[in-house]
Each structure stands twice: as structure tokens, then as C-alpha cells.
Amino acid sequence: MIELDDRLRVLRRSAREWGEELRELGEGLDRDPGNTGDLAGATGVRYISRMMIPPEFQGAALRQSGYTFHGNTALERVVAVEELGRGDAGAFLAAPGPSLSGGIVALLGDEVQQRWFFEHFAAEPVWTFFGLTEPDHGSDASAMRTTLAPAADGDGAVLTGEKRYVGSAARARLGTVFARTGPGPLGISAAMVETGAAGFHAEPLPTIGLRGAQICAVRFDEVPVPEDRVLGRHLPASSRGMHAATRMFNQFRPGVAALALGIAQAAYDYLDHHRADLVRGSDEALASLADQLVSTRQLVWRAAVCVDKDPSQGSLASAAKARSTGLAEQLTLQALELLGPGARFSHPLPEKLARDARGVEFMEGTTHMQRLNVAQGLINGRIA
């Protein structure tokens, strides 16, 4: 059983308050995902927007009750993200910050590249995007077709292709893109791209769940990429591309699990608050759901501790993501049943939570893909 220390208990309490602010903002973002104007003032957004910035680039640290928070361990992130997602997962995903791109730049950028990227966040909130998924290659990202090829005039490279379901791309200033530089698994690289570059196009897609994420279709029409924006050039080919993406996803995935757990907890809170309105015989169901929340939280914390020790070990993170997404879907749908006929019309919050839970299922790999990871972990003896 993992117990949080005093520092993380302080963070959990603070994040619960920040989440309440996000709840209000989330309703507006669900109506209009382009409406991010009010986010900048929210304290939780200050935390989120620094989360993937290495401490040496963060400037003044966020402090609460004498403790400093950099969001640079998976355990710290899952504790905060659950509470922020309990407030509103869509608003969490709508927040500015380096997000997944920060993780990739921290892993693959040399010192000059890291400085260039992370200095964007020093003065004001800046949105980023992370371009990996393609229209026909979602779960099988390594089948990507987007290319990063030497420019005809010999000056840098050009990016050509399409990405799909890319969060915040239409409001981002910069981001990272994975593209093919050659055949095979080693022929994939990541590059930093500014959205103001010629040939960059991003269009929001119509969505039902997690609308705050504003996922987009992105097109690159021969976008020029200066040579010094290609990441990982100082590393062996085996450490770049999909190898780095896998390592980064392992570190980030417990956070996605925590986001799902936050949605599940929010649905439970709602049921608990409306006990008097529930259909007959609900008490037993609520007791079982409360137990499942506690055990799933332990799994998410364990997964975070595991990737903090060794970021190459992602099997437990996959198990945590599959389990917490399953619980979020089950609990939000069950909430609508327990609230009785017509609940989708008369209870807007659980109705939204059910839509958002389905969205998390697709983020960072579906449950099928997580199960494949877990199976490989078992076969290779990485988990017992």
C-alpha cells in the first residue's frame, strides 16, 4: 500500500481546490472549445503549464505550504492530475504548456534546443501540439507516412504529410512532429515545428467528449524545418524516434490514467451527493464503486512510482491506464443508470463525464493496445 508523504498530501488538497475552478471553466469549454480566454488566471493552469518543463527552465517555482512543486515526477503528476481531472478533464487538456512535446524535447533535445523550446514559456502561457497519430495509422504509429526529407536547395528539411486528432494544434504556437526520415523502425525522427511556418494547417475536428482538448486535423505542405530543429541528432539512431516516444509515453501514461480516475471520482462524488435521488438498491453499487476507486488509485500510484524508478518499464502504466479508463467508463455509465430514466437530460454533469470518459479511452493508446503491452510485460517477466 502506497501512502503519500506530507508534501504530496498538500499538493492533493491544493489540486482539489484548483480543480473546482476548472469545473466552472470546463462547462464553457464544452460549449465552445475555442474559448480559452478565462483559463490563464486559474491557479491549476499555472501548475499544468509548467508540468513538463525541466526544473532548470521553470524560473520561480510553484510553492504551497512551504513545499516546492515542479511536476517533474510521475507520482507528483498523478496526485495533481486526478484532482484537476476530477474538476474537469476537458479544461485540464485545454490548458497551455509544453505537455507531451516538453517530454520529447527534454528527452531528445540538446542543450541549445531545450533552451530554445522551453524559453517560449517564460513570459506568457503558450499552447503546444504533439503530432504523432495519422489518419490511417492511429494505434500503429510506426506505420506513419509523414516525411521529413532534405530540402531541394540543401538548406534544412521539409515536412510533408498529415496528422490527426492532435490536441490544441489550432491554438498552438509550436510543437513536435514525428516523421519518417528513412525506412524501418530506425527511420523515424522528431522535429520542433512552429505553427506560423509556411505550409502548416490545423483544423479543429467536431468531437463529443473531452471537447476542451480541441483535437485537430493537421496538414504539412512542405513545411520548412531548419536543421537545428531536428531532435536527437546528437544521439544514436536507436535512441531517437519511436524509442523516445515509447519512453516518454511510459512516463506520461500514469497521468492519463489519473485523468480517467479523476473523471470516475467526479461521477462517484455526484452520486454520493444525490443519494436520495438514486434508484432503489443503489447503496450496494456505490459501496463497490468506492472500493474500486481506492484500489485503482493504488495501481495508478504504483505505476507512477515504477516509471519514476525506470522509465523504460511501462507495463504497469499500461495496466493502470486500462484499469482506470475501464472504471471511468463503467462508473459514468452506471451513474446515468442509477440516476434513473432521462438522466442524460436532467443531470448535465454525469452526462458530460460519460462523454469525457470515452475520450480518455483513445488518448495515448486504446485499452486493446495497453493490454498488448501488459501481455508483453508478462511474457518478458517485467511484471509478475
Ligand X SMILES: Cc1cc2nc3c(=O)[nH]c(=O)nc-3n(C[C@H](O)[C@H](O)[C@H](O)COP(=O)(O)OP(=O)(O)OC[C@H]3O[C@@H](n4cnc5c(N)ncnc54)[C@H](O)[C@@H]3O)c2cc1C
Among residues 74, 108, 132, 354, the one that binds ligand X under rule CB under 6 A: 132
Binding segment (CB under 6 A) for ligand X, from list 207-215, 280-288, 321-329, 374-382: 207-215
Q: Which of 29, 215, 16 is nearest to 8 (CA)?
A: 16
Going through 41-135 in order, the beta strands assigned E by DSSP cover 62-64, 67-69, 128-131
Q: In terms of CB distance, is 163 or 253 closer to ligand X?
A: 163
Minimum distance, C-beta of residue 17 to ligand X, in the bound complex (Å): 25
C-alpha cell, 340: 434513473
Binding segment (CB under 6 A) for ligand X, from list 3-11, 61-69, 126-134, 374-382: 126-134
* Phi, psi of 57, rounded to the nearest 5 degrees: -105, 5
Q: In terms of CB distance, is 14 or 168 closer to ligand X?
A: 168
Among residues 36, 49, 133, 160, the one that binds ligand X under rule CB under 6 A: 133
For the beta carbon of residue 51, count every other beta carbon within 10 angstroms.
24
What's the burial of 228, exposed, middle or buried (CB within 10 Å: 0-12/13-18/19+)? middle
Distance CA 208, CA 135 (A): 18
Q: In terms of CB distance, is 233 or 368 closer to ligand X?
A: 368
Give Cβ neighbours of residue 353 (< 8 Å, ≥ 6 apart). Answer: 263, 266, 267, 270, 328, 332, 335
Inter-axis angle of helices 315-338 and 348-362, nearest 10: 160
- Of residues 137-166, which lie at the interface with ligand X (CB under 6 A)? 138-139, 163, 165-166
C-alpha cell, 54: 525541466
Binding segment (CB under 6 A) for ligand X, from list 77-85, 191-199, 208-216, 319-327: 208-216
Number of residues that bind ligand X (CB under 6 A): 20
Distance CA 245, CA 251 (A): 10
Minimum distance, C-beta of residue 232 to ligand X, in the bound complex (Å): 18
- Of residues 343-382, which lie at the interface with ligand X (CB under 6 A)? 359, 362-366, 368
- Of residues 272-311, which lie at the interface with ligand X (CB under 6 A)? none
Minimum distance, C-beta of residue 223 to ligand X, in the bound complex (Å): 16
- Of residues 161-190, which lie at the interface with ligand X (CB under 6 A)? 163, 165-167
Among residues 18, 92, 130, 220, the one that binds ligand X under rule CB under 6 A: 130
Q: Which of 67, 68, 62, 65 is nearest to 44 (CA)?
A: 62
Concatenate the DSSP letters of all residues of 128-143 into one string: EEEE--BTTBSS-GGG
Minimum distance, C-beta of residue 163 to ligand X, in the bound complex (Å): 6
Q: Which of 191, 181, 193, 154 is nearest to 237 (CA)?
A: 181
Minimum distance, C-beta of residue 53 to ligand X, in the bound complex (Å): 18
List Cα–Cα distances, 276 to 146, 226, 334, 340, in angstroms: 55, 62, 16, 12
- Of residues 40-59, which lie at the interface with ligand X (CB under 6 A)? none
- Of residues 14-33, which lie at the interface with ligand X (CB under 6 A)? none
Binding segment (CB under 6 A) for ligand X, from list 130-138, 154-162, 193-201, 340-348: 130-138
Residues 109 and 231: beta-carbon distance below 8 Å: yes
Q: In terms of CB distance, is 62 or 372 closer to ligand X?
A: 372
- Of residues 210-269, which lie at the interface with ligand X (CB under 6 A)? 210, 213, 215
Minimum distance, C-beta of residue 59 to ligand X, in the bound complex (Å): 26
Minimum distance, C-beta of residue 274 to ligand X, in the bound complex (Å): 28
Interface residues with ligand X (CB under 6 A) are: 130-133, 138-139, 163, 165-167, 210, 213, 215, 359, 362-366, 368
